[in-house]
Structure 1
Amino acid sequence: MNVLGIVVEYNPLHNGHLFHLNESKKITNADVVIAVMSGYFLQRGEPALVSKWTRTEMALASGVDIVVELPYAFATQKAETFANGAVSILDALYCDFLCFGSEAGKIEPFLLTNELLSQSNEYYDALIQKYMKTGVSYPKAQTLAFQNLCSGEHQSSYIDLSLPNNILGYHYVKAIHDQRSKMKPTTIKRTSAGYHDLHFHSPTIASATSIRKAIFSGNLQIDAYVPDQTFKLINNYEEKYKSLHQWECYFQLLKYRIMTMSLDDINAIYEVEEGLEYRLKQHIQKATSFQNFMERIKTKRYTWTRLQRLCTHILTNTTKSQINKLTMQKSSYIRLLGMSDIGQKYLSEHKKKVNLPIISKLSTSQDSLLDLDIKAAHTYFMIMPEPIRTKLLQKEFATPPIRFNKN
């Protein structure tokens, strides 16, 4: 039996994701597909368009067999930490393959790049620090350091670490290597739409970013770019809850938090560094929207994504001390969100040898990592009116894994 692992956000699940899923199945000859999916807040520091339960339904309807949650502490992090958490969960579930989308489209350059950087780790880190001192962002410093390290006639043998999916793919390969996982990494080339594309360039394939932009611009004609079930689920969610989730919905909550926190309180928040608390305080009072606030605080040194993640941590009151006491290389549990009949059979046959607790229903938490997920759920639904908010929070504890029958 071949078990395929994928790492997803599905914000929302679109035709490009479906292509990746189906091609991944083909090249790995997969019998079972396990997706580890971000919960309510995502890697770029954004709230998910719709809840994790609705995105789980999208995944199951599109051919995934098991959906498990990537905990908040990994899901809202830089690529390295994000990948470590995801790989640890897929490895614990005995996946044979991890297949990711990339601009490179071939796995060999990723393996060579990981070999190069693992052999030159200290020098690479020193180069990053050198470039950081010039005032550039951490991702830019990584790119410059890598270009310095692999310059020469064999440069084309390595991946381009300035491209977002290549960066994430490299960290998946590195995490598999570092965790001594038996999973085999493989990759599918991304087609038509780039990760950050804001506009539709193809009749059927578009980035999740451009799809969300179209939705929030009042253009609901996205049905050509998403599977039918995704289109129905988004419309049903909005009709039922009168809202889809974006940062602007949370701006007043964020503004209240920053304006009423002391400088010391803000400094205690995870990812607040180098006096950023002063910059946040300085600009929040005059900011008229989240977009306006981000434009005010953006600097050459800090990427938009990094600042969005920081704002997410302020919103959820996630502190440095909370994150620092966690072991950030591996997850301590597996939160099961949904499964097909095939997935249910696989779990029944393998759950006794899985070395992490599988949580199918929340109760009183005894886990600091899980506490952050619960807090994220409370924050995510704060924009909802009562009694919908309370019902959704109750659902977070009462909802069993979604079951999907493929037959």
Structure 2
Amino acid sequence: MRAVGVIVEYNPFHNGHAFHLERTIEEGEADVVIAAMSGQFLQRGEPALLPKWNRAHMALKAGVDLVFELPYQFATQKAETFAKGAVSILASAGCESLCFGSESGDIYDFHQTIQFLDDSHDLYQEKIKYYMNEGYSYPKATSTAFKDLSPSKEILDLSKPNNILGFHYIKAIRELNVPMKALTITRKNADYHDEHFASETIASATSIRKALFSDGGDIETVSQYVPQTTYDLLNDYYIHFKQFHQWEHYWSLLQYRILHSSPEELKEIYEVEEGIENRLLTVALQSNSFKDFMTKLKTKRYTWTRLQRMCVHILTNTKKEDMKKRMCKATYLRLLGMTEKGRIYLNQRKKDIEIPIVSKLGSFDSPDIHLDIKASKIYALGGIKVYQQNLINMEYNQPPIYIRK
């Protein structure tokens, strides 16, 4: 069976994802689609709208056949590390190709850009260092340095978020030396960061989340932008747990974690660098909400996304030593769900899969997976008090979701 991989968050699964999935199956000539999907906390440093199990269910209902969790040490990282972890999961699962959405839509441009930057490596790094010393954030320094190199028209626009991710996916395929072909599909209508609905049927996940939070969880507001299966699962979750997850639900926990810590303890947390621990302590004391805290904390040198990721690691008490030794490639495949086709594929290929497939926590123990378990416990504390234990129990008791088709 031919497998094509996708790297996703599905926060939540929407019509744009459905379009990408349909084209992925066509372009990859796929018998099965395998997703590497972020867990409870995401690449932009945010809690997921709803838990990984519910988002995996959305994916399976929409046409994905196997969903493996992208572990915390990759899911909450900058694009380069995020990509390497996700590609290692899909390669371990036997994917022959990887298909991603991009603003470019032309795979040739990605390869040309990688070659261009390989040829200009020393000068590019020199320019990045220069702009970092000028106080630019790392993403701003890299994009400015890239423009300084005067690339040709066949080179990517690396200021676009999906182009950046795609660029790092292909770099990861090369660096890990895995036999995987890269495919790309042009993103349809909505930009990744759009906060407003851009068309009658296609909207970004950002705008969908904003609408849900603005309208107090009224799912009808977003019904035209998501498949019926997503609508039903969103509705079911809200009925049972009475809210969707967002940073404000974790503010008191984050504020406590910061104010309970000394500057020396904060310096041990992953992503806390360059003396920002003192600013964290000062601003946490002055802020009355997460948005207020972030607005006061933000500087030219740090992007909002990087600061949010830093906050996730403070919230989960994840230290530098916990992350740095676990950032090479995935060491297990945590199975969140499968269809009947996915089950058949695993039965056919499991002898060729060289790392453990984890379907029950009780039968697998590794320091690497403890980060995911801890993240799920903390994630549950953002739920309404009476439902927190149910959310924690899901991490231990929820078997892989099985969809018969």
Q: TM-score by structure 1 length?
A: 0.96
Inter-partner Cα distance in structure 1 for 2:380 and 2:62: 26
2:164: which partner in 1?
Answer: 167
The residue identity in structure 1 corresponding to 2:380 is F
Inter-partner Cα distance in structure 2 for 1:364 and 1:322: 23
2:233: which partner in 1?
Answer: 233
Inter-partner Cα distance in structure 2 for 1:366 and 1:137: 38
The Cα of 1:386 is off from its aligned counterpart by 5.0
Matches within 5 A, 1:62-73: 62-73=62-73
Inter-partner Cα distance in structure 1 for 2:41 and 2:104: 27
The answer on 1:208 being equivalent to 2:205 is yes
1:281: which partner in 2?
Answer: 281
Inter-partner Cα distance in structure 2 for 1:386 and 1:258: 22
The Cα of 1:118 is off from its aligned counterpart by 2.9
2:59: which partner in 1?
Answer: 59
The residue identity in structure 2 corresponding to 1:370 is I
1:256: which partner in 2?
Answer: 256
The CA RMSD over aligned residues, in Å, is 1.2
2:85: which partner in 1?
Answer: 85
Inter-partner Cα distance in structure 2 for 1:365 and 1:96: 27
What secondary structure sits across from 1:335 in the alignment?
strand
The answer on 1:94 being equivalent to 2:94 is yes
1:355: which partner in 2?
Answer: 354
Inter-partner Cα distance in structure 2 for 1:384 and 1:137: 33
The Cα of 1:334 is off from its aligned counterpart by 0.6
What secondary structure sits across from 2:225 in the alignment?
coil
Runs of 4+ in 1 over 4 A off after TM superposition: none
The Cα of 1:329 is off from its aligned counterpart by 2.5
The Cα of 1:20 is off from its aligned counterpart by 0.5
Runs of 5+ unmatched residues, structure 1: none
The answer on 1:291 being equivalent to 2:270 is no
The answer on 1:396 being equivalent to 2:395 is yes
The verdict on how the C-alpha distance between 1:299 and 1:364 changes in structure 2, with shifts beyond 3 A counting, is farther
1:177: which partner in 2?
Answer: 174
1:50: which partner in 2?
Answer: 50
The Cα of 1:129 is off from its aligned counterpart by 1.1
The Cα of 1:397 is off from its aligned counterpart by 1.3
2:30: which partner in 1?
Answer: 30
What secondary structure sits across from 1:308 in the alignment?
helix
2:316: which partner in 1?
Answer: 316
Task: Give yes or no for contact 1:105–1:189 (8 Å, CA) kept in 2.
Answer: yes
Inter-partner Cα distance in structure 2 for 1:274 and 1:301: 10
Query: How many residues end up aligned between the 2 structures?
Result: 402
1:195: which partner in 2?
Answer: 192
Task: Give yes or no for contact 2:338–2:403 (8 Å, CA) kept in 1.
Answer: yes
The Cα of 1:125 is off from its aligned counterpart by 2.1
Inter-partner Cα distance in structure 1 for 2:8 and 2:354: 23
Task: Give yes or no for contact 2:249–2:383 (8 Å, CA) kept in 1.
Answer: no
Runs of 5+ unmatched residues, structure 2: none
Show CA shifts across 1:379-399 (max 9, x none): 000123455322332221122
Task: Give yes or no for contact 1:102–1:189 (8 Å, CA) kept in 2.
Answer: yes
Q: TM-score by structure 2 length?
A: 0.97
The verdict on how the C-alpha distance between 1:126 and 1:325 changes in structure 2, with shifts beyond 3 A counting, is same
